[in-house]
Chain A
Amino acid sequence: MFEDVRDLYNAEIIARGRRPRHMTRLAAFDTTARGDNPMCGDRVQVWLKYAADGSIAETGFDARGCDISKASADLMVEAVQNRSPADTRAMFERFRAMAQSGQCPDCAAFAPLKPLAAVHAYPSRVKCATLPWHALMAALEGAKDATSE
């Protein structure tokens, strides 16, 4: 019955939505921020720890929400590992563009995020996928809260 949603609800997304691998609160962290989507009640908190060179050494999150937001947070943690804040911001911009348009000009650079590429075909769900990234961006800025688009 649901063959046509397998583009978004693919095995990777369902597995990570059900059992995220990185859904942990970091015991020691440098910064944290929360992302809220007041319209739907989704909430993601992200914790970050920096390496000596300023790159992202460790990321953890806690999420209350749908499979798409949890899977996106989980994939995000892996995608930003060891990246500089500038790199991470650039990646977010590319991810956001992909989530909104489905176009992915240099996908190779963020293969880990490709399982979410089909979300653009579900306009009401794009904000679920980008919510953890908004929290991450807020954490990088040192802000406490972010709201999704």
Chain B
Amino acid sequence: MNDTAQIFDITAIRAEFPILSQKVRDKDLVFLDSAASAQKPRAVIAAMVGAMETQYANIHRGLHWMSERTTEAYELTRDAAARLLNARDRSEIVFVRNSTEAINLVAHSYGRAILKPGQAVVISGMEHHSNIVPWQMLRDSHGIELRVADITDSGELDMAAYEALFADGRVGLVAITHMSNVLGTYTPAGRIAAIAHANGAKVLFDGSQAIVHRRIDVQAIDADFYCFTGHKLYGPTGIGVLWARRELLDAMPPFLGGGEMIASVSYERTTWAEVPHKFEAGTPAIIEGIGLHAAIEFIESVGYPAIAAHEAALTDHALAKLSAIEGITILGRAQDRGGVVSFTLDQAHPHDVATLLDRQGIAVRAGQHCAEPLMRRLGVDGTARASFGIYTTPAEIDALATTLERIREFFA
């Protein structure tokens, strides 16, 4: 990947996203909800439409031209994803529907076959429900203990509390967010992995948010599993990636059974296909997979250094602007953070805030953000959340801040 010297031209980038020129309620769209799902660049839309218009067929099974072309295009996404994560080998890339499925795959397959009843799984106090519920299900079906590493009041992982959870030597797996979808906090992945490994545990990172804002290198952080979801990375819905070390994937049993994932089938005995196909039962999200490739190439063409610099500046700007408004409380003050800012307004409930912002064309999210336990830890019923992407401008953040001031007056 060429990360160097691309010029970050926000006007040119915005021009790649057709939706950004939409009017909402006769107002310019200010889309500050990319953490829920990002908008799609022209290249992604074109790749998907193009594949359907010129070469569409099922993959891995047709002997005809169309199927060969489509198989090739789909498999190129695997190479792109391996490059994106700096995986050792393309066979370590398993396609799934989204992060939720990736985590369920690990919980179901690794969790049941490799973890032993009595062992523990560690999560953090700032997980998305997708990285809580699968482990609770494993706990209840398989006798695994679920441990939660608390966060500090600034919204960072409490490293002492985390490390203490390993004291009895029973932790088999850590499953933890690499960036909180509520607080914006990046967790120190390298240190988390080092501590897990020193205690004989494997580690899975939920990179759903993290991979949007900065470059991920699974070898550098020494991860064992890493997952992300395509739709937050400017790609389509219905396609995501689970990366895992090859030797782990080899040792793990399949998740779903069916076509595509077998070597041979008889009524007596079925043998599994090679990794990663062993984990890819059924006809996959072919068109979405091809769209994800275009999204990855789009990210690469802009370059992570430029993206990270742009979004860090935006986030600083947003924190400064919002902090200056009386009555606004920002949740999470992590040192290392990505483009997500959650806040409450003392005058109004987050839903009322979101509705009034929406009337000005400003899209934010309000509620619990699929993180109910975290809301409880923070002592709030919900928050409003502004999140930023590659196409967000400082002027949009100014519009948010100005409108929030008006909302305070409205409810005063």
**Residues of A participating in the B interface, judged by any CB pair closer than 8 Å:** 1-2, 4-5, 8-9, 14, 17-18, 38-43, 64-68, 122, 124-125, 128
Q: Are A39 and B351 in contact (CB under 8 A)?
A: no
Can you identify 20 A-B contacts, CB atoms within 8 angstroms? A1-B360, A1-B403, A2-B406, A2-B407, A2-B410, A4-B359, A5-B355, A5-B356, A9-B352, A17-B352, A18-B411, A38-B368, A40-B382, A41-B368, A64-B381, A65-B351, A66-B352, A67-B348, A68-B351, A122-B355
> Chain B contacts of A8 at CB under 8 A?
355
> Chain B contacts of A68 at CB under 8 A?
351-352
- Expressed in whole angstroms, the minimum distance between the Cβ of A133 and any Cβ of chain B is 17
B interface secondary structure, majority: helix
Q: Which of B349, B359, B360, B372 contacts A65 (CB 8 A)?
A: B349
> Chain B contacts of A65 at CB under 8 A?
349, 351, 381
> Within B395-412, which residues are at the interface with A (CB < 8 Å)?
403, 406-407, 410-411
A interface secondary structure, majority: mixed
Q: Are A5 and B359 in contact (CB under 8 A)?
A: yes
Other A-B pairs, 8, CB within 8 Å; known A2-B410, A17-B352, A40-B351: A1-B360, A5-B359, A39-B368, A41-B381, A64-B381, A68-B351, A124-B355, A128-B351
> Chain A contacts of B25 at CB under 8 A?
4
- Expressed in whole angstroms, the minimum distance between the Cβ of B359 and any Cβ of chain A is 5
Which residue of chain A lies nearest to B368 when distances are taken between CB atoms in the complex?
Answer: A41
> Chain B contacts of A41 at CB under 8 A?
367-368, 372, 375, 381-382
Q: Are A40 and B366 in contact (CB under 8 A)?
A: yes
> Chain A contacts of B350 at CB under 8 A?
66
Contact with A along B7-28 (1 / 0, CB 8 A): 0000000000000000001000
Contact with A along B348-386 (1 / 0, CB 8 A): 111110011001100000111000100100000110000
Instruction: Say whether, besides A40-B367, A67-B348, A125 and B355 are in contact (CB < 8 Å).
Output: yes
Complex-state Cα separation, A125 to B349, whole angstroms: 13
> Chain B contacts of A14 at CB under 8 A?
411
- Expressed in whole angstroms, the minimum distance between the Cβ of A10 and any Cβ of chain B is 12
> Chain A contacts of B349 at CB under 8 A?
65-67
Q: Are B352 and A67 in contact (CB under 8 A)?
A: yes
Which residue of chain A lies nearest to B129 when distances are taken between CB atoms in the complex?
Answer: A38
- Expressed in whole angstroms, the minimum distance between the Cβ of B213 and any Cβ of chain A is 26
Instruction: Say whether, besides A1-B406, A64-B381, A65-B381, A40 and B368 are in contact (CB < 8 Å).
Output: yes
Complex-state Cα separation, A133 to B364, whole angstroms: 27
> Chain B contacts of A43 at CB under 8 A?
381
Q: Which of B351, B359, B368, B375 contacts A2 (CB 8 A)?
A: B359
Which residue of chain A lies nearest to B403 when distances are taken between CB atoms in the complex?
Answer: A1
Which residue of chain A lies nearest to B382 when distances are taken between CB atoms in the complex?
Answer: A41
> Chain A contacts of B406 at CB under 8 A?
1-2
Q: Are A2 and B382 in contact (CB under 8 A)?
A: no
> Chain A contacts of B366 at CB under 8 A?
40
Q: Pick from B349, B367, B407 the residue with the most CB of A within 10 Å.
A: B349
> Chain A contacts of B359 at CB under 8 A?
2, 4-5
- Expressed in whole angstroms, the minimum distance between the Cβ of B181 and any Cβ of chain A is 15
- Expressed in whole angstroms, the minimum distance between the Cβ of A21 and any Cβ of chain B is 18
> Chain A contacts of B410 at CB under 8 A?
1-2, 9
Q: Are A66 and B367 in contact (CB under 8 A)?
A: no
- Expressed in whole angstroms, the minimum distance between the Cβ of A20 and any Cβ of chain B is 13
The 7 A-B pairs at the shortest CB distance, nearest first, are namely A66-B349, A66-B351, A40-B367, A41-B382, A41-B368, A41-B381, A1-B406
Q: Are A125 and B351 in contact (CB under 8 A)?
A: yes
> Chain B contacts of A66 at CB under 8 A?
349-352
Which residue of chain B lies nearest to A65 when distances are taken between CB atoms in the complex?
Answer: B349
Complex-state Cα separation, A128 to B381, whole angstroms: 14
> Chain B contacts of A5 at CB under 8 A?
355-356, 359
Instruction: Say whether, besides A1-B406, A2-B410, A128-B351, A39 and B367 are in contact (CB < 8 Å).
Output: yes
> Chain B contacts of A42 at CB under 8 A?
351, 381
Contact with A along B328-363 (1 / 0, CB 8 A): 000000000000000000001111100110011000
> Chain B contacts of A2 at CB under 8 A?
356, 359, 406-407, 410
Complex-state Cα separation, A66 to B356, whole angstroms: 12
